[in-house]
Structure 1
Amino acid sequence: MANPLQFMQQVRTEVGKVVWPTRREVLLTTMMVFALATLTAIFFFVVDLLIRTGLTQVLRFFG
């Protein structure tokens, strides 16, 4: 087990190796996440609407 000073030096070294994203990259990926989440929500809304309509028609036919 390393002593705390040695551990902190290793942590600083490893953090220095990290490639941080630019502001533009962060904004683009954030916008992509929101766009895909919106598309997914619309898709599931349409699927739910179709299933609900189909079930309503079936229940009306037999009911």
Structure 2
Amino acid sequence: MAKNNPFTFLQQTRQEVAKVSWPTRRETAVTTVMVFIMVAIASIFFLLTDQLMAEGVKLLLGLGF
């Protein structure tokens, strides 16, 4: 395994970073908003599922009124 000095390492790192296709500010904003929307949808889904299961357990155990 060849050993590189720190200068060579930094040079190679810069070359690799230059190859990266960075998202635009707009793409980042749209993706962030979509993540928040999906989190809200998932939260509502799991809240409703949990409530439904809780009611089912109460009904099964005779704890419901």
TM-score clears 0.5: yes
**Where do 5+ consecutive residues of structure 2 fail to align?**
none
- Structure richer in helix, relative to its length: 1
Cα deviation for residue 43 of structure 1 reads 0.5
User: 1:1-63, aligned counterparts within 5 Å?
Assistant: 1-60=3-62
Which is bigger in relative contact order (C-alpha 8 A, separation at least 6)? Answer: 2
Identity of aligned residues (%): 46
**Where do 5+ consecutive residues of structure 1 fail to align?**
none
CA RMSD of the aligned region, Å? 1.2
TM-score (norm. length: structure 2): 0.86
* Moved beyond 6 Å, runs of 4+: none
